[in-house]
A and B are shown apart, each in its own frame.
Chain A
């Protein structure tokens, strides 16, 4: 009963370093999302994907890249980390995204600190 799994759970980076966050879901969901959560701002959408091989920009995409090579995986990359990217990152997935009010299922988050 894994649902949505995020790795790693915690990471500390130095400014300018790169890293990739991995999200895996075992529910055969078509849609996947990456959010960042900052105090008082709720969750903001970074990028999302509506199916294998597709990606699209969300509300705050700058400084991030994503890839969806396999349906079950959605990767979030930081090419050159900046202190402003210190945040908690959440991955989510949903069966579909259109019209049916399908809820999104969330992972437990990755706490990322950029020094």
Chain B
């Protein structure tokens, strides 16, 4: 069974600092990987996805993620945090042969001025 682990349920960064959110997955086959963002009282919005093309994936709002098969990781980064980045972020995995997402527990990002 596949699973997703997000290290750190809460992350606090200063405005302008690097944002790094960690995601590790377990899967016996090459997966499809996603990062979603959830703003307060809203649903999830897709930030970016990895579907076995380039290992460095660029998403919306300046975020990017790198797929590292050897480390089974798909960490999300943004070089310079903005106040509007305060939200909860979810990593999710879907096996190529399946149609269901498995989500990590989420990481809530707080941006300090």
Say yes or no: A42 contacts B44, CB within 8 Å: no
Interface size class of A (residues with CB under 8 A): 20 to 34
When distances are taken between beta carbons in the complex, the residues of chain A under 8 Å from B97 are: 98-99
Interface flag for B34 (CB, 8 Å): yes
Within 8 A of B (CB), among A20-68: 31, 33, 40-45, 48, 50, 58
Interface residues of B in 60-113 (CB under 8 A from A): 90, 94, 96-101, 103-106
Q: B90 to A97, Cβ gap below 8 A? A: no
> How would residues 83 to 115 of chain A score, 1 for a CB under 8 Å from any chain B CB and 0 otherwise?
000000010101011111101111111000000
Total CB contacts across the A-B interface at under 8 A: 63
Contact B43 A108 (CB under 8 A): yes
Are A101 and B51 closer than 8 Å at their CB atoms?
Answer: yes
Which single residue of chain B is at the shortest CB-CB distance from A100? B51
Interface assignment of B42: CB less than 8 Å from any CB of chain A: yes
Q: Which of B4, B36, B42, B104 is the one whose CB lies under 8 Å from A108?
A: B42
Contact between B9 and A48 (Cβ–Cβ < 8 Å)?
no
A-side residues, CB < 8 A to B, are 4, 31, 33, 40-45, 48, 50, 58, 90, 92, 94, 96-101, 103-109
Give the A-binding residues of B (Cβ under 8 A).
4, 9, 32, 34, 36, 41-46, 49-51, 90, 94, 96-101, 103-106
Closest 6 A/B residue pairs (Cβ): A97-B99, A106-B43, A42-B103, A101-B51, A101-B32, A106-B44
